[in-house]
Amino acid sequence: MKIVGLTGGIGSGKTTVAKLFAELGIPTYIADEEAKTLMNTSSTIKREISALFGDQAYTDGSLNRPFIANAIFNDTGLLKQMNSIVHPRVGRHFKEWVQQQNALYVIKENAILFEHGEEKNCDFTILVTAPENIRISRVVKRDNKTEAQVKAIINNQLPEGVKRLKATYIIENTALDKTRTQVLDVHHKLLNAMKTS
């Protein structure tokens, strides 16, 4: 089974595109959701996160997301330490998940795929992209984050231009009907590439 990494900056539409692949019957793994689940359920991770961030890390047992976001996206050292607690566990969880799938390929959505050199574990990669001003306004609308908060996250992600050079396929996600067409096109290209590989 082939692994197709799906990535893109904040607000590019990764989850939207992942859902379109799911509609085609492709198993999809959303790394960020799994990370959040693990951070809320694994007692080991909870203990390590609490040791790193202090008492405010959890409110009534649930991850205090605004507090953590404010801390890590303004302090690269903390971001790295948190990543080193969470990412190896997500990686192991993904491997177990893959074993349970039955398909020609699976999609692994990960916001920071190229940032962490994760493309080496993928057979193909897809970059979802949209102009930065559109991405910012989508997230401000969706999450009630301020423009400055979204920009702080963007500053912790690779520039679009760098990611474009690394991706096997690029999906421009502005008009949704055109995004659907591109998803179908990439799906067929992937199936063809798998036939010949």
Ligand X SMILES: Nc1ncnc2c1ncn2[C@@H]1O[C@H](COP(=O)(O)OP(=O)(O)OP(=O)(O)O)[C@@H](O)[C@H]1O
Give the interface with ligand COD as residue ranges (CB under 6 A).
Answer: 10, 31-32, 35-36, 39, 63, 65, 68-69, 72, 79, 83, 86, 90, 110-112, 153, 156-157
Binding flag, residue 64, ligand X (CB under 6 A): no
Of 8, 94, 108, 119, the one binding ligand X (CB under 6 A) is: 8
Give the separation between CA 128 and CA 170, rounded to whole angstroms. Answer: 6
What x-and-dash track marks residues 130-149 binding ligand X by CB under 6 A? --------xx--x-------
* β 124-129/105-109 pair status: unpaired
Binding flag, residue 171, ligand X (CB under 6 A): no
Binding flag, residue 83, ligand X (CB under 6 A): no
For ligand X, give the closer residue by CB, 48 or 113: 113
Residue 136 in tokens = 């910012």
Give the separation between CA 169 and CA 36, rounded to whole angstroms. Answer: 28
Give the separation between CA 97 and CA 128, rounded to whole angstroms. Answer: 23
Give the separation between CA 77 and CA 43, rounded to whole angstroms. Answer: 23
Whether residue 36 is annotated as binding a ligand: the answer is: no
Of 177, 162, 64, 57, the closest CA to residue 112 belongs to 162
Of 2, 15, 152, 166, the one binding ligand X (CB under 6 A) is: 15
Site for ligand X in 21-50 (CB under 6 A): none
Residue 107 in tokens = 């999609």
Binding flag, residue 125, ligand X (CB under 6 A): no
Of 4, 5, 13, 94, the one binding ligand X (CB under 6 A) is: 13
* 10: phi then psi, degrees, rounded to nearest 5: -55, 135
**How far is Cα of residue 78 from the mean position of the Cα atoms in its chain?**
19
Q: Identify the three-state secondary structure at position 128.
A: strand
Contact of 171 with 128, CB cutoff 8 Å: yes
Whether residue 14 is annotated as binding a ligand: the answer is: yes
For ligand X, give the closer residue by CB, 33 or 47: 33
Whether residue 62 is annotated as binding a ligand: the answer is: no
Positive or negative CA dihedral for 23, 29, 31, 32? positive
Q: Which does 6 bind (CB under 5 to 8 A by kind): ligand X, ligand COD, none?
A: none
Q: Which does 86 bind (CB under 5 to 8 A by kind): ligand X, ligand COD, none?
A: ligand COD
| Positions at the binding site for ATP | 11-16
Which residues contact ligand X (rule: CB under 6 A)?
Answer: 8, 10-16, 111, 138-139, 142, 173-174, 176, 179
